[in-house]
Structure 1
Amino acid sequence: MKKTSRRFIHELAQAHRFGVLVLFCLICMTSPIQAETKSAPKNVILLIGDGMGLGAIEIARQLEYGKTGILHLEKLEHVALMRTYSANNYVTDSAAGGSAIATGIKTNNEMIGVNAKGEEVDSILDAFQANGKKVGIISTNMVVDATPAAFGASVSNRWTGGAHIARQLFDNQIDVILGGGASYFEADKQNGEDLIAKFKKAGYAFTTTKEELSSMNKKEKLLGLFHPTYMNFKLDKEVLHSQEPSLPEMTAKAIDILSQGDKGFFLMSEGARIDSMEHAADITGIWKEMIEFDQTVKEVVKWAKNRNDTLIVVLADHETMGISASETMDIAALKKIRVSSEYMSKQLTFDKNNEINPKSVVTVFKKYAHISLTDHEVQQFIDNVRKNRTLVYPKHRIEWEIGSTIANYHKAGVADRSIRAASSTGGHTANMIPVFAAGPGSEAFEGVIDNTDISKIITKASGVPFTPGQHKKEE
């Protein structure tokens, strides 16, 4: 064959391969498979670990699995870091932090679901509900507490608005409400009206125990109130013979009910008692509350697996007490503790002047924390309780001092008691917190973001109309 003929054949083959490549690219560009990768999530599950910073995550990992272990939340595909400051403070409280996540705007500490001027604004839950989706809120504190309230209500002050929040949860027709705070729904706090009765009349199933909750099948609306105030700590459920459901159980039941709708749902589920344990510097309690929260992540991911229609976002509203997994922390000793610092505080006795009985301090620390305090240490404990009158939650100062004493004894990383006592938030910090995400739309959670970005990212991914700072009554 002549040289020119061989060149001609080679060029023809090259042209053929190029044509095939062009055709393949054109097919890919118009393929419906490509369009599906950008599909909007039908459902959104937002899991909030109140106060959950990197330190709490690391303590849970170390105590539960050891240095090579992995938590379920760490397995989510996308990770970002989030700033949490409020409108009037570089350290947020749960009211302003939860509101920023829920509404997409900054507000002042102690304000819920309103802007810094006190004007009511819509939340992401309102937006999803207006879009025809079912909605739900869950908390292991009270459902009228700051974080859940930020999604379902609006009040100018978290400390005086509990009963009003309960009323708004009813008025706003939230499909599933599960947690503590039953006392705020009762007649003595509702101007003589039984709000629970109104829920029942409106078609809600009502439950107060773990067993009742598990038996609720094919219900469209559900109210579950499992404690007059805050639900019990994970550490104390056995000793208290608690009949309360766990966070994974409440979340699973909520998903079961909300997923019955054709248009999808929005669910906010809060592991709220992580923060309570952090305020108390209760390292063992942080571990247990964190693991329950992480098990909730596991169950949610398991439910969403292979559905390709559910966006999962895991985050916190702020960090508390600068918790860290210090090198000196005595993990073995901390794991031997079986009850919370709150439970220990209730075992102390007092004299006729309402002063703590020193002998009871010795007994409680020895029995529950396995620590033998000296006479000097006992007196120091009592003096600290007297001196460190906190700016918020004063009724918790004894259990907080118990937690700090144990943390100090076992050399765990936590902010000093004096910082907590002087803090308007009870020991919150400005530390950035991690955001973990998986499912359609999760790729947008990357880099350093602000807490006001959360609702914007979620609604944009879901194709749900939402304008931060707007109120539906103004439309």
Structure 2
Amino acid sequence: MKFLNSVLALGVATTIAACSESGASTAETRTAPPALSTDQRNSTWYRDAQSRLQQASQRQIDNTPGAAKNIILFVGDGMGISTVTAARILAGQQQGRTGEEYQLSFEQMPFAGLIKTYNTNQQTSDSAGTASALMTGVKTKAGVLNVDETVARGDCKAGLEHPLTTALDLAELHGKRTGIISTARITHATPASTYAKVPERGWEYQAPEGCRDIAAQLVEMDRGDGIDVILGGGRRAFIPQSVTDLEGEKGKRTDGRNLVQEWKNRYGAAATYIEDEKGFKAVDAAKTDKLLGLFQPSHMRYESDRENDKAGEPSLSEMTAKGLELVQKGEDGYFMLVEGGRIDHGHHAGNAYNALTDAVEFAKAVQVAMDNTSTEDTLIIVTADHSHAFTMAGYPTRGNPILGKVIGNDEHGAPQDAPQLAADGKPYTTLGYANGAGFADLGDETNSDARRDAPAHSGRVDLTEIDTTKPGFYQESLVPTGSETHGGEDVGIWARGPGSHLLTGTNEQNYVFHVMVRSGGLLD
């Protein structure tokens, strides 16, 4: 050790002496780092990044509890990170761009993070348990809605003994106006998580003796004065089997109750019930206090399939605009949940076209909210309940159609003339699924549910002569299963408005409730 110290001391002394002899410091004689080249500084990538940095440095953060007079929670059902990426590219390509550089509306929000989605009893979650976490602040089991994790799925008695209060409940108790909007059935897991308390998500229109079904809980809701805006699908859960709706479909209720009529009786002349696009367009927000719109017996149409609806129905962005008109009438603010429910269903079918098309429409709905609210008093949160076993892979050249076959680059980095071939000699698509029903080619079919009862297709297919960008193309899957499953990885979360900075980092899903409640002052 003495020898080492002597060597170090000698080195330091020699360095000092050298500096003294030259009359310059070590720092002065060191070669200066090269300056940025003109080409580097003039690059659009460089300039765009500098512009974004400048914008980010000027952000003002409102950390005041209760500063958010209004809260809008957007849930893209099944909208995992790979879905967001692919939807971004599709949206950009629909506008004539390469796509990769495009940003969806919510991706332009100032704060973002990740959310962990597991249920208390499942590594890969279901929508009921995840939606309950978002709405109540605690995690629970898969398959249950707003009852705590001690309740066994389907246990009616235990469910009655262990209900959980939701963010929408709190908003109602604070006199705020409330709304739920979804392209799925309004009694489906995510929208139902705002109001229902059941140990079985399947009890949409009937429940065991002693418990109430989900539709009945909506109409009989006793928090505040009930939800002000309800727009979505699921008409069959509100009418009895003896009643036929305007599209020729019979109801599902076996108890003989007509909940639509009960809802109208409860709210009287200031309430409007609608079933089709014509009725939707005729709604006068100024004259309407309560609005119930049930546009399909089951789920609403996929966005690409909407024009095929018999009676016509509004888009998610149109429903969002109408919902905002109605909830913004209140002086005490509002809470609204908006779900892109059919993103999830497109994925379950193994049909990326509809999953992504609905995701693009979901982003348009978010844009409507961004355009019609203020960052000073409205907290907007965009997230997903879970992901899907959906992949984006291969090495396609930039701008390659996201729904197309993989066309790569040659050794010089230029696009090749033909699709790349896998080891089996067949072309393959950029998008695929780890499991699911696998390949099908239904051409121009826009309804993903069209192949629901078809057997799963295992193995690879020669896609050489198949147009994989068509609405009716179903991607290949690795593991053949009757339906593609959810994915277990984290999902993204984006936010703007008071309290939005609290959602950065990686958090548990139930944390979102706590941010909404704090930012909105929903718990005194």
| Residue in 2 that maps onto 1:7 | none
- CA distance in structure 1 between the aligned counterparts of 2:68 and 2:442, rounded to whole angstroms: 53
Does structure 2 retain, via aligned residues, the 8 Å contact 1:282–1:407?
Answer: no
Residue-by-residue CA offset, 1:392-421 (whole Å, 9 max, x unaligned): x9993539759x979997599978363654
3-state SS of 1:197 partner: helix
Shift of 1:131: 1.2
Q: Offset at 1:367?
A: 4.3
Extract unaligned runs of 5+ from structure 1. 1-33, 337-361, 370-392, 467-475
Equivalent residue number for residue 86 of structure 2: 59
Q: CA distance change for structure 1 residues 399 and 209 in 2, over 3 Å: closer, same or farther?
A: farther
- Distance in structure 2 (CA, Å) of the matches to 1:254 and 1:225: 14
1:396 equivalent to 2:452? Answer yes
- Displacement of 1:141 in angstroms is 0.7
Q: Secondary structure at the match of 1:238?
A: helix
Give the match for residue 418 of structure 1: 479
For residue 344 of structure 1, what is the aligned residue in structure 2?
none
Question: Is 1:434 aligned with 2:492?
Answer: yes
**Which residue number corresponds to residue 144 of structure 1?**
187
Distance 1:332 1:365 in 2: 18
Which is richer in helix? 1
- Shift in Å at residue 322 of structure 1? 3.0
| Deviation per residue, 1:76-117 (Å, 9 max, x gap) | 110010000001011110010111111111111111111122
**Alignment-derived partner of residue 167 in structure 1:** 216
Match status 1:115 vs 2:167: no
One-letter identity of the residue aligned with 1:135: T
CA distance in 2, matches of 1:151, 1:325: 37
Deviations 1:412-449 (A, max 9, x none): 9978363654x8xx511111000000011111111001
Give the 3-state SS of the residue equivalent to 2:187 in structure 1: coil
Structure 1 193/239 Cα, relative in aligned 2: closer, same or farther at 3 Å?
A: closer
User: What pairs up with 1:428-467 in 2 under 5 angstroms?
Assistant: 428-465=486-523
Instruction: Classify the secondary structure of the residue corresponding to 1:201.
Output: helix
Structure 2 partner of 1:299 = 368
Amino acid at match of 1:42: K
Render the CA deviation track for 1:23-64: whole Å, top value 9, x for unaligned: xxxxxxxxxxx9977361110000000000111111111122
Q: TM-score if structure 1 supplies the norm length?
A: 0.73
Which AA in structure 2 matches 1:207?
Answer: I
8 Å Cα contact 2:203-2:214 kept in structure 1 = no
Quick check: 1:129 aligned with 2:196? no
Pick the aligned partner of 1:228 from 274, 293, 297: 297
C-alpha spacing 1:103/1:397, structure 2 compared with 1 (3 Å) = farther
Q: Which amino acid aligns with 1:159?
A: G
Aligned to 1:177, the other structure's residue is in SS state strand
- Between the two proteins, the alignment pairs up a number of residues equal to 380
Q: Deviations over 1:317-362 (max 9, x none)?
A: 00012343654599548479xxxxxxxxxxxxxxxxxxxxxxxxx9
Q: Which of the numbers 112, 120, 124 marks the counterpart of 1:79?
A: 112
What percentage of residue pairs aligned between the two structures are identical?
Answer: 30
The residue identity in structure 1 corresponding to 2:376 is: N
Structure number with higher relative contact order (C-alpha < 8 Å, ≥ 6 residues apart) = 1
Residue pairs, 1:28-67, within 5 angstroms: 38=64, 40-65=67-92, 66-67=99-100
Is contact 2:264-2:273 (8 Å) kept?
yes
1:304-343 to 2 correspondences below 5 Å: 304-305=373-374, 308-324=376-392, 326-328=394-396, 332=401, 334=403
8 Å CA contact 2:62, 2:499 repeated in 1: no
Correspondence for 2:136? 103
CA contact (8 A) 1:281 1:407 kept: no
Distance 1:246 1:87, change over 3 A: same
Q: Residue 493 of structure 2 aligns to a residue in which SS?
A: strand
Work out the CA distance in 2 between the residues paired with 1:326 and 1:120. Answer: 47
Q: Counterpart of 2:196?
A: 153
User: Which residue does 1:356 correspond to in 2?
Assistant: none
Deviation at 1:183, TM superposition (A): 0.4
Change (3 A) 1:122 1:190: farther
Q: Structure 2 CA distance, aligned partners of 1:41 and 1:59?
A: 32
- Considering only CA atoms, is the larger Rg found in Structure 1 or Structure 2? 2
The whole-number CA distance in structure 1 between the counterparts of 2:359 and 2:121 is 29
Are the aligned partners of 1:459 and 1:465 in contact in 2 as well (CA < 8 Å)? yes
SS in 2 for 1:111: coil
Question: 1:387 maps to which residue?
Answer: none
| Residues 241 and 160 of structure 1: CA distance in aligned 2, closer, same or farther (over 3 Å) | closer
The AA in structure 1 aligned to 2:514 is K
* 2:257 match: 193
- Aligned residue for 1:418, secondary structure, equals strand
Equivalent AA in structure 2 for residue 450 of structure 1:
E
Q: In 2, distance between residues paired with 1:366 and 1:269? A: 31
Any conservation in 1 of the 2:456–2:480 contact (CA below 8 Å)? no
Tell me the distance in 2 between the aligned counterparts of 1:190 and 1:407: 48
Contact 1:214 1:253 in 2 (8 A): no
Aligned counterpart in structure 2 of residue 180 of structure 1, from 214, 233, 236: 233
Distance 2:115 2:501 in 1: 15
Distance 1:240 1:199, change over 3 A: closer
1:128 partner amino acid: A
Cα 1:206/1:416, change in 2 over 3 Å: same
Tell whether the 8 Å contact from 1:205 to 1:223 is kept in structure 2 after alignment.
Answer: yes
- Relative distance call for 1:324 and 1:367 in structure 2 (3 A) is closer
Indicate conservation of the 8 Å contact 1:407/1:414, yes or no.
no
Distance 1:57 1:367, change over 3 A: closer
C-alpha change, 1:120 and 1:106, in structure 2 (3 Å) is same
Give the Å deviation of 1:215.
2.0
TM normalised by structure 2 equals: 0.67
CA distance in 2, matches of 1:70, 1:458: 25
Question: 1:406 & 1:242 partners in 2: Cα distance?
Answer: 40
* C-alpha displacement of 1:161: 3.8
- 2:333 maps to 264
